[in-house]
């Protein structure tokens, strides 16, 4: 997306295009600042937001819902990585692995920034951004408790803050969930092509994050007793996540609760009405060939403990 050509195009039929963005031209200055920090995948979100605000194009409630859902997931992921990196010494996180996690965490922070900027322009309620508060328990921030304790800071995922293998397994599950969540919202943002393109771009970034984490875990197989996940999910298998965490994240790979036909499990082999497992590939290969979307309501219910009562990240 060539932003300069795009703005030049608008300037050709509207010489006051920059004033329309903001009468005090503040919007352009803000955009210049944001642009330095956004990833290419996120950039169309900011451009789309300015253009729609300037020219009065209406966003549907579905687009706002999709962005609000994305923001919840991005808050969780970004806070998870920030917390883990801050606890790097206790986790034994160092060297190349630490560098890769810093890169992934930075991407998630950029996603938060981009989604929040877009939500602000369509003038719909956003997911509240709750900053650090002294009276919140350790590990709880932004309305999120990464231990899964729903605010007590001592939930079943608390070992992720002291055990690197648990931390990496949880990160993998979060990224896999992010891939499904973004794909599941594609139809909701379809009317807004720039937002659709950006959402699919972030979707691909989440998939690369998941693959990178699986590779990190595979490289640790010597100390991890043979856990060697592939770069992608096979069927509904979470990817050799150790018990008891395997059972806790397993539903993330299952079907949508409200509409399992439209949002099937990751073990699905039916695509466009055809069972691709009957086209000369194995059942495993058939399930590995496609990311299955997940419905937004199901994602929210996972994050808020309505599916797994003992694992509640957003409270």
DSSP string, 124-153: ----------TTSPTTEETTEETTSBTTSS
Of 306, 308, 307, 272, nearest to 290 by C-alpha is 272
Report pLDDT for 26: 44
What is the C-alpha to C-alpha distance for residues 233 and 288, in angstroms, rounded to an integer? Answer: 6
What is the C-alpha to C-alpha distance for residues 200 and 66, in angstroms, rounded to an integer? Answer: 12
Is residue 221 in a domain?
yes
The two structure tokens encoding residue 22: 């903001």
- The CATH number of the domain holding residue 234 is 1.20.1260
Residue numbers in the chain where pLDDT is lower than 50: 1-59, 129-135
Q: Quickly count: other Cβ atoms within 10 Å of residue 130's Cβ.
A: 13
Report pLDDT for 156: 87
What is the C-alpha to C-alpha distance for residues 39 and 45, in angstroms, rounded to an integer? Answer: 10
Is residue 52 in a domain?
no
Report pLDDT for 25: 42
What secondary structure letter does DSSP report for 252? G
Is residue 192 in a domain?
yes
Residue 101 vs residues 171, 216, 240, 258, 265: alpha-carbon distances, Å: 10, 10, 20, 34, 28
- The residue assigned the tokens 């990585």 is 81
Residue 209 gets the label, from left (phi > 0), alpha (psi -120 to 50) or beta, of alpha
Is residue 76 in a domain?
yes
**What 3-state DSSP class applies to 237?**
strand
**Residue 253's Cα: distance from chain center in Å?**
15
Report pLDDT for 227: 54
- Domain limits at 110? 60-246+296-303
Report pLDDT for 228: 61
Report pLDDT for 119: 77
Is residue 50 in a domain?
no
Is residue 213 in a domain?
yes
Burial group, residue 20, by CB count within 10 angstroms (0-12, 13-18, 19+):
middle
Is residue 6 in a domain?
no
Domain count, the chain: 1
Report pLDDT for 152: 85
**What 3-state DSSP class applies to 22?**
coil
């Amino acid at each position: 997306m060539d932003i300069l050509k795009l703005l030049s195009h608008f300037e050709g039929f509207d010489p006051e295009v920059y004033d329309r963005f903001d009468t005090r031209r503040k919007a352009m200055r803000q955009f210049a600042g944001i642009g330095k920090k956004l990833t290419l995948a996120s950039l169309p979100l900011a451009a789309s937001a300015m253009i729609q605000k300037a020219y009065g194009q209406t966003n549907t409630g579905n687009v706002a819902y999709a962005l609000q859902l994305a923001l919840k997931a991005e808050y969780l992921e970004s806070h998870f990585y920030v917390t883990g990196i801050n606890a790097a010494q206790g986790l034994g996180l160092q060297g190349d692995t630490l560098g890769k996690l810093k890169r992934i965490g930075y991407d998630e922070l950029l996603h938060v920034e981009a989604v929040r900027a877009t939500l602000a322009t369509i003038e719909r309620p956003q997911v509240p951004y709750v900053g650090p508060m002294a009276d919140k328990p350790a590990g709880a921030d932004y309305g999120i408790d990464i231990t899964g304790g729903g605010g007590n800071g001592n939930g079943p995922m608390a070992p992720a803050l002291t055990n690197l293998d648990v931390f990496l397994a949880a990160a993998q599950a979060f990224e896999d969930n992010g891939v499904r969540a973004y794909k599941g919202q594609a139809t909701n943002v379809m009317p807004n092509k720039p937002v659709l393109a950006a959402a699919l771009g972030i979707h691909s970034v989440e998939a690369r994050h998941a693959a990178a984490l699986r590779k990190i875990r595979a490289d640790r197989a010597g100390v991890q007793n043979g856990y060697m996940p592939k770069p992608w999910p096979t069927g509904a298998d979470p990817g050799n996540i150790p018990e008891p965490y395997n059972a806790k994240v397993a539903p993330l790979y299952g079907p949508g609760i409200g509409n399992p036909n439209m949002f099937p499990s990751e073990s699905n082999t039916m695509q466009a009405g055809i069972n691709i497992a009957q086209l000369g590939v194995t059942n495993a290969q058939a399930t590995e060939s496609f990311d299955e979307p997940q419905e937004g309501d199901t994602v929210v219910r996972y994050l808020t403990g309505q599916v797994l009562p003992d694992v509640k990240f957003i409270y």
